[in-house]
Each structure stands twice: as C-alpha cells, then as structure tokens.
Amino acid sequence: MIGNALFTLAHRMRGSAALRVFEEIRGEPALAADEVRRRQWARLSGLLAHAEAKVPYYRQVFADLGIGARDIRTPADFAAFPVLTKDIIRAHGPELIAEGTDRSKLLTHRSGGSTGVPLEFYHDRAATDLSDAGTYRNFLQCGWQPGEMIAFFWGFNERIEAMSRLEFEARQYLRRSYQFDPFQQSDADFERWLVTLRRVRPTIVHGYASSIGLFAEWALRTGARVPRVKGLFCTAEKLLPRQRDAMERAFQAKAYDVYGSSEVRNIACECSRGTFHLNADFVYAEVEDPLLEGPQPFLLTGLIDRSMPFIRYRNDDCGTLGAHVCGCGSGFPAMKLDIARQSDSFRFENGRVVHGEFFTHLFYGVNGVRMFQFRQLALDHIEVLAVPEAAASGLDAVMANIRGQVEALAPGQLTCEARLVSEIPRSSAGKHRFTVSLVQHAADAAAGRAA
C-alpha cells in the first residue's frame, strides 16, 4: 500500500522511531491485568531509581525524606512521595532536567495547562516518538491501518504558516496527516474543509473536540455530505455529549474521547465500549485522596520521560480510578474523567469562530504571568486578565501586544481591553478556565443547553 510506504518513509526522513516502538507496544493492552500492573510497577521503580541518580531536584527530595528509590516498594510507599506542582516546576525548572541530557536536543513545550497557568518544560525525542506510537495504538481500536490518512484538527503554528502551499500539501500527503486550522472557523472555512476532506479521504479524524463538533453541526445543518471515516479521536478538551452526537452522525463513525496533556502525554483513551482505560505503560495514576468519595484531583507520573520526569504531578484534572471493570478485554485499568480542560471558542460579527486554544498560545513564552483568562463579554469586546508574579516586569508591553493580536482577529469590529489584576475568580465548577465566552453561554442558555 502506497500510504504505508509513505508513512514509513516520512518517519525515516525525520529520524522517528515511532513506528518501530508502535510495533513493540501495540499488544500491551491485551495483556492480563496482573501482568499490566507488574510491568507498570517495574517501569515506575526504574523511573524512581533514574530520578534519584540523575535528577538534582529529585535527588534532594530523596535526601530530605531520608530514603532511596529502592525503599519505595508499594503503592502506599509511593503515596508518601511529595507532589509535583506547577509552582515547583516554575521555581526549579533546570533542576528537574536529568544530568547528562543534551539540552540542545530537548524539545521545548509551553502550555497554558488546563487552567490558564503558563508553564514551560521539556520532552526528549525518545519520549515524543513513544507518544506518537501511543496515539497510533489508540487509532487501532477502530480498524485504522498505518498509512491511512488522518484528518488532524489542531492549531497551526508559525512554522506551518510560513510554508508555501505546495510544501504544506506535500508534507501533509507524505506524513499521512492533513492538518485543518481551528483558529480559522467560519461557514466559508467549513466549505473548504469539506472539499479537502473529500479530496484527502481520511479514515481517522483527530483533534479538538469542539472544532470537530462545530464542523459536524454545520454539516448536519446544511445537509453537506461528509465522507465516512472509521473513527473520531477527540482530545485536548472535554468532549461534550452534543458534540459527540453531531460528529458521530456527520461522519457515521464512533467518537473516542482521548485524555492527555502536554506535560504527561497519552494518559487514557476510551475503548469501543466507552470506558476510559489508563495507558498503564505510559502513566502511573493516583488520586490525591483515595479515601474520599467522588472525583479527586489526579496525580500523574509519566513513565516514558527520562529527561524531565514528572512524578506525582498535579495537573488540575479530576476523576476516579479503578471504579469499575470493563468487559472489552483490555488489561489496562478503567478510570473515569470528571473534569478536564474546557475552553470556550470565541465567535465574531464577521462569522469567524476562533478556538480557545488560540488564546493560550498568545501567552506562550511569556514570563512573569501566574494565571490568565480571556473573557468575551460581547460579540465586539474581549477582556484579557493576567495575574503577574510578584517580581514581574515589562508586562505592560506584553499586554499591549496581546491586545493588538486579539483585535486583529476581526479588524474594526472588535475592541480588546488587557489588564493586570491580582486575582481571577474561578468558575462555578471550581475550576479556572482560560477562555470564557459570555456570548456562547447566553446562546447556550437560550437554546436550553448546559454550558
């Protein structure tokens, strides 16, 4: 098959081990639950030994506790290990990188987190290849074969925007992943997306739940015939029931909710029976207080990242672990996700809808901001709030720049006010959201839908 040959070639050209690793890990979910747990614990023990030996921050944590990695023999022992927070990462970033790491080869990641708290951290190439392999393994569930085309709904970056049309098309075709830009969403864009979908004939749709949902709702409303796919994999934000319903009808395929984060990747994926299974070879998960009833904040340990390990990392998402058993045959433990990343898209008078993720990107690389939020108060007005760190300076220029970038989304039709504040109030769900659209909430309320 040509697709498979191109897919293999594309990996070889960029020196990616993802396809080889994919072959190694594809059978892991079929292992018996006991074997899954045994391997997971062995990986965790190996990570702790590595952290103690090579990572200055963790070496100090072990010294302060007066124990070594080999003293952590049970989950209860591990539960006494300190939690890693965003504040610790910001304060101790360089000490979290393993000695002997070639820093020039690390990939810098920036995240608004799930809560509008900016963070900078690093992944190495091996972990990134593994992460790609984990994504391919998720796709296997609906019958995807390596090399079949993937429609990828994900925010464009500067590198993609700088490409010529020809380079962009060649690159998408070779990589077997065609990227659609959720930062440009309007009926006219959806018309173009439809033409492209018919041309590139994907078997998988992958990306932001709200963008895929919005396109599907447009297709159903206008009667546009969308090409049928094998499966839809929604990530980066909560998949709402009405989005799931629309995309499953429009694309005539099952939607799978995928749970990951930039910091700890490939955390869990829904199976064909709709149960979230933890990817136990990638992640060791705990909840903050297992004795309490109901959803609890997750503490996540990434088992594949050696250059900058995240051990018992609190990422602000909530859920329950091990609450039930799924009959699908997977040996990976079942879990429930209750609160995860939610962002509102913003809609403008010119018909353009911009995915909330666009706004997070405006704070990428900005130092000195502890938390931020974009609030669309009316079709023509956006407010940007940012809480500065104590010693921050130069933020007035940053805020003025962000104001300019926001107003450029709908020139002449949009005003933006950007302010530094001492606090940002939390939503009714108790969680901070990095975008809030009062326009969308009013429309939802009028339509009788929960926001």
Residues that bind Zn ion (CB under 5 A): 271, 273, 275, 326, 328, 330
Which of residues 183 and 256 has its CB atom nearest to Zn ion in the complex? 256
Nearest distance, CB of residue 272 and Zn ion, angstroms: 7
DSSP 8-state assignment for residue 57: H
d(CA 393, CA 368): 7
Which of residues 326 and 420 has its CB atom nearest to Zn ion in the complex? 326
Nearest distance, CB of residue 145 and Zn ion, angstroms: 21
Question: Are the C-beta atoms of 224 and 195 separated by less than 8 Å?
Answer: no
Question: Are the C-beta atoms of 213 and 243 separated by less than 8 Å?
Answer: yes
Tokens 């023999």 belong to 73
Which of residues 19 and 269 has its CB atom nearest to Zn ion in the complex? 269
Nearest distance, CB of residue 196 and Zn ion, angstroms: 33
Question: Could you tell me the two tokens for 102?
Answer: 């070639």
Nearest distance, CB of residue 264 and Zn ion, angstroms: 21
Which of residues 128 and 320 has its CB atom nearest to Zn ion in the complex? 320
Which of residues 79 and 326 has its CB atom nearest to Zn ion in the complex? 326
d(CA 48, CA 58): 9
Task: Write phi, then psi, for 381 (nearest 5 degrees).
Answer: -145, 130
**Alpha carbons within 13 A on the beta-carbon side of 157:** 5
Question: Are the C-beta atoms of 28 and 303 separated by less than 8 Å?
Answer: no
Question: Are the C-beta atoms of 145 and 348 separated by less than 8 Å?
Answer: no
Nearest distance, CB of residue 278 and Zn ion, angstroms: 11
Among residues 266, 260, 270, the alpha carbon closest in space to that of 279 is found at: 266
Among residues 285, 272, 267, the alpha carbon closest in space to that of 323 is found at: 285
Which of residues 338 and 407 has its CB atom nearest to Zn ion in the complex? 338
Which of residues 277 and 347 has its CB atom nearest to Zn ion in the complex? 277
Nearest distance, CB of residue 322 and Zn ion, angstroms: 13
Question: Are the C-beta atoms of 395 and 386 separated by less than 8 Å?
Answer: yes
Question: Are the C-beta atoms of 178 and 152 separated by less than 8 Å?
Answer: yes
DSSP 8-state assignment for residue 216: H
Nearest distance, CB of residue 181 and Zn ion, angstroms: 33
Question: Are the C-beta atoms of 58 and 52 separated by less than 8 Å?
Answer: yes
Give the number of other Cβ atoms within 10 Å of residue 362's Cβ.
18
Nearest distance, CB of residue 25 and Zn ion, angstroms: 17
CA distances from 292 to 71, 75, 288 (A): 27, 17, 9
Q: How far apart are the first and last CA of the chain?
A: 45
d(CA 439, CA 101): 47
Which of residues 112 and 134 has its CB atom nearest to Zn ion in the complex? 134
Nearest distance, CB of residue 251 and Zn ion, angstroms: 22
Which of residues 271 and 424 has its CB atom nearest to Zn ion in the complex? 271
Using alpha carbons only, what angle is made at residue 304 by residues 300 and 308, rounded to the nearest 5 degrees? 75
Which of residues 128 and 275 has its CB atom nearest to Zn ion in the complex? 275
Nearest distance, CB of residue 275 and Zn ion, angstroms: 4
